[in-house]
């Protein structure tokens, strides 16, 4: 099991913002959507590019290259050209800090 990694203090990751952190070699984007925290792998499954250069529309992130859409909450594909979901990661708040961990190898 991987360890929890600090992302930011809760007062620095405000609603409507996100932060990208390296978690054991994986780029993970952590979002604050209306006070709830979600984390997804920062890679489009269509072409392998970074997602966080795209726009956030409600609970969706739009790939900046080809327009694929993914759920920030679950990683599910919402619009092509991507067909494979992206991984979502567990997030918690501990002692006023947002934390994430990579649970893929648990």
Is the model's pLDDT at 1 over the cut of 70? no
Res 65 pLDDT > 90:
yes
Does the pLDDT at position 29 exceed 90? yes
Give the tens place of pLDDT for each residue, 83-105: 999 999 999 999 999 999 999 88
d(CA 21, CA 11): 17
Question: Could you say which architecture CATH assigns to the domain 5-100?
Answer: 3-layer Sandwich (2.102)
Predicted confidence at residue 105, as pLDDT, reads 80
Cα distance between residue 28 and residue 67, in whole Å: 20
Which residue is it, tokens 């920062």? 42
Domain spans of the chain? 5-100
């Amino acid at each position: 099991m991987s360890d929890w990694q600090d992302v930011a203090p809760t007062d620095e990751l405000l609603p409507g913002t996100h932060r990208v952190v390296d978690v054991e070699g994986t780029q993970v984007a952590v979002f604050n959507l209306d006070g709830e925290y979600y984390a997804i792998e920062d890679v489009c499954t269509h072409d392998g590019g970074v997602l966080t250069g795209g726009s956030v529309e409600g609970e969706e992130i739009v790939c900046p290259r080809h327009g694929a859409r993914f759920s920030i909450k679950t990683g599910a594909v919402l619009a092509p050209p991507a067909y494979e979901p992206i991984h979502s990661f567990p997030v918690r708040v501990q002692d006023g800090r947002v934390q994430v961990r990579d649970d893929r190898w648990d």
